[in-house]
Amino acid sequence: MSAAPTTETKPAPPAIEKIKVKVDGREIEVPRLTADWSGKLMPTTMIQACELAKTDVPHYCYHPKLPIAGNCRMCLVEFGTPALGPDRKPILNPDGTPKVVKSPRPAIACATPVSPGMEIYSNTPGVKQMREGVLEFLLINHPLDCPICDQAGECKLQEYSVDYGQSASRFVEPKVHKPKSVDLGPRIMLDDERCILCTRCIRFTKDIAGDDALGIINRGSFNTLTAYPGKAFDNNYTLNTVDICPVGALTSKDFRFQMRVWFLKETKSVCTSCATGCNILIGSREKKIYRYTPRENDAVNGPWMCDYGRLNYKWIGREDRLTKVQSPKSKVQGQPASWSSALTEIAELLKKTPAGSVAIIASARQTNEELWLISKLKAKLGAISDSVSRMGEGDKLLVSADKNPNTNGAQLTGIAANLMGANLPKIVEGIRNGKIKTLIVFGEDVTRHGMGADLLGKLETLIVSDILPNATTKLAHYLLPGCAHAEKRGTFTNTKGRVQKFMKAVEPPGDARPEWEFLHDLVCNVTGQDGFLTIEGLFNEMANAVSALNGLTWAGIGDAGVTVKI
C-alpha cells in the first residue's frame, strides 16, 4: 500500500542526538531531548525513557501534557550513573565496561533528566517499598468509598493498590475530614476527601485552559482543593479535569451516578460540535450513550475536548427522533412506508425530472461518503446544490468558529458552493419562479434559511432526510429518517483537512438508517450504477474519485486520521 498523501509536510525535526541508558538492565537508546508538555524540547526524563523501554512507572501527578509538579512521589526510582575518577574520566570495571555507582537517594522519574550511561532501576525491592509507602500514605485519609465512587473502575488508587497495596490498613487514627459534594462549578462536583492533591486539575486550568481558577488552601494534610472563594469553576474546558483527575475527587455532574464505567462500551468516534473534530470515545451501554471522553490525538485535540462538545450528545437519544419512513401515500394512509417502496418511488420520480429542475441542500454535518453519494445524484440530475454554513465563536484552544463538522467534506465533494450558502438564494429564486420543482434536503431545516412553508408549497416534490423533527420535515413529501454519527460509520474532514473516521456506538432507533446506506440504494436506482455496500469499499471508491482524497484507504487512515490538501 502506498503512503497516503498528506499536507503534514512539517520540516523534518532537527536530528536529536541519541544517548544510551539502561532500564532495569536493558540497554536502550533514547533521544537526548524530548518534547515537553508545551512541545518545547527539553532533556529526556527518566519516565520518558522508561516509556520508550516499555517499562511502566506508576504515577499520579505526572501527565505528559501538563507541566511537571513532582509531588505525588509515586514515580520514585533508583538509579546509577557512571563513576568518574579524579581526572573526570569514567572508571572502568575489570571487564572494560564503565563502572556505575548507584545513587544513595532515589529520584522522581517524572522530573529527572537521563544522562549517558545512566541506569534506571524501577523494579528493585527498594523501589517497591517506596511505592508501597506512598500508596499507604495516600490511602490513610482517603474515604475508601469505592462502592459509591464514580471513578471506581478507572481509578489510579485502585489500580496501584493491586500492585502496591496492603490487604489491611494499620492506620488506627481518625481520618482527616474535608468538604464533600463541593459544587465547584456548573459541571463539576468535588469531593475533597478523595482528592490526593496531585494538582493536575490546577495545572490544567491554569496552563492549558488559561483560567487560573483552582488552588489549594490550608496546610499539610489539611490541604484542600478549592475554587477561588465565591467564584464558580466555569470555563469551556472544566470537564477535562474530571478526565485527568486520577481519583474520584472531581466528577462530572452529567455523568456521576449514571453508570458504572465497566459496563460502558467505548467506541472511537469524532465530536461533531464544530469543525475541529476532536477525537472522542463514546461510552455507551445497550442503546444509550452515557458520556463522551476525549481520545488523545496530538494532530487534533491532544488529550482534551471542550465541555460544550462533550455534553452535546443528549439529542441522540431524544424521544422525538424520526423513526419512520414516510411517503405521500403513507402520509394519507397514516401508515409508515417501507424503505424499499419509498426509495423506489423517489428514484422513479427523480429519473423523470428534467435537468435543472432539482435542487439539493445537503448538510455539512453529513459524512464525506454521504456527501459524495449525493454528488453522484447531483451530477446525474444536473442539480444545483449547497449546504448551510454555521458560524459562531471560536477560541484559541480547540473550539472552531465553524460549527459544521464537515465543511471541508462538503467543499471537497462539490456539494457546497465555494462560499457555503451562496447558492441558497439561487435555489429560493428557482423555486419561486417555478424552475425548481424538486428539492432534496438532508439534515437542515430550510425554513430557517429563506424557504418558508409558502415557498416549499410551490414544490412538486420535497424529499427530506433528517434525524430530528423540524418545520421542514413536517412539510416533506418523502421523509427518510437518518442516523446520528454515533449510530453509523463514516468520515469527516475537519477544518485543517484531516480526514477522520468514526465508528458505530449504538443502534439507530426504529427504522432510521445510516444515510450512506439508503443513498447507496437511491444512487443505484437513479444512475443504474451499483456501488459498494460496505463503508470500507465506499470510502475507498470515493478516495479514488475525489482528487484530494486520492490514495487514502479506510484502513490506511487509521484511528487518528490523515490530513489532506484542502
Least distance in Å: CB of 104 to another protein? 8
Tell me the longest C-alpha to C-alpha distance in the chain. 99
Q: For another protein, what does the binding mask look like between residues 76 and 105, x meaning CB under 8 A?
A: x---------------------------xx
d(CA 6, CA 13): 17
Least distance in Å: CB of 243 to another protein? 22
**Alpha-carbon separation of residue 202 from 69, 81, 137, 151, 423 (angstroms):** 11, 34, 22, 19, 48
Amino acid found at 170? R
Stretch that binds another protein, among 173-181, 225-233, 269-277, 327-335 (CB under 8 A): 173-181
d(CA 36, CA 92): 34
Residue 190 is a binding residue for another protein (CB under 8 A): no
> Which of residues 139 and 416 has its CB atom nearest to another protein in the complex?
139
Least distance in Å: CB of 106 to another protein? 5
> Which of residues 88 and 170 has its CB atom nearest to another protein in the complex?
170
Least distance in Å: CB of 139 to another protein? 9
Residue 173 is a binding residue for another protein (CB under 8 A): yes
Stretch that binds another protein, among 70-78, 180-188, 347-355, 380-388 (CB under 8 A): 70-78
Least distance in Å: CB of 138 to another protein? 6
Stretch that binds another protein, among 51-59, 110-118, 152-160, 203-211 (CB under 8 A): 110-118
Residue 172 is a binding residue for another protein (CB under 8 A): yes
Least distance in Å: CB of 136 to another protein? 7
- Which residue pairs from 453-456 have beta carbons closer than 8 angstroms and sit at least 24 positions apart in sequence? 455/428, 455/431, 456/431
Residue 66 is a binding residue for another protein (CB under 8 A): no
Q: Which of 47, 50, 66, 72 touches another protein by CB under 8 A?
A: 72
Beta strands in 378-529 (DSSP E): 384-387, 438-442, 461-466, 478-481, 490-493, 498-502
**Alpha-carbon separation of residue 99 from 21, 36, 96, 120 (angstroms):** 13, 31, 9, 14
Residue 166 is a binding residue for another protein (CB under 8 A): no
Between CA 473 and CA 479, with CA 475 as vertex, the angle to 5 degrees is 45
Least distance in Å: CB of 140 to another protein? 6
Paired strand residues for 358 = 438
Stretch that binds another protein, among 67-75, 378-386, 403-411, 416-424 (CB under 8 A): 67-75
Least distance in Å: CB of 43 to another protein? 8
* Closest by Cα among 405, 186, 184 to 275: 405
The DSSP 8-state label assigned to residue 488 in this structure reads S
Stretch that binds another protein, among 138-146, 360-368, 454-462, 523-531 (CB under 8 A): 138-146
Owner of C-alpha cell 506512598: 134
**Alpha-carbon separation of residue 566 from 5, 351, 385, 495 (angstroms):** 12, 33, 20, 9
Residue 214's H or E segment, with its range, is: strand 214-217
The grid coordinates of residue 491 equal 468520515
> Which of residues 129 and 547 has its CB atom nearest to another protein in the complex?
129
Residue 197 is a binding residue for another protein (CB under 8 A): yes
Residue 499 is a binding residue for another protein (CB under 8 A): no
Q: Which of 141, 385, 472, 500 touches another protein by CB under 8 A?
A: 141
* CA-only gyration radius of the chain, Å: 29
Least distance in Å: CB of 102 to another protein? 12
Q: How many CB atoms lie within 10 A of CB 411?
A: 20
Q: Residue 139: helix, strand or coil by DSSP?
A: helix
Q: How many residues bind another protein (CB under 8 A)?
A: 40
Residue 57 is a binding residue for another protein (CB under 8 A): no
Q: Which of 107, 316, 358, 362 touches another protein by CB under 8 A?
A: 107
Residue 134 is a binding residue for another protein (CB under 8 A): yes
Residue 19's H or E segment, with its range, is: strand 18-23
Residue 332: Cβ-neighbour burial (10 angstroms; 0-12, 13-18, 19+): exposed
Residue 395 is a binding residue for another protein (CB under 8 A): no
Q: Residue 166: helix, strand or coil by DSSP?
A: coil
Q: Residue 372: helix, strand or coil by DSSP?
A: helix
Residue 222 is a binding residue for another protein (CB under 8 A): yes
Q: What is the binding site for another protein (CB under 8 A)?
A: 68-74, 76, 104-108, 111-113, 130, 133-134, 136-138, 140-141, 170-174, 176, 196-197, 215-216, 218-223
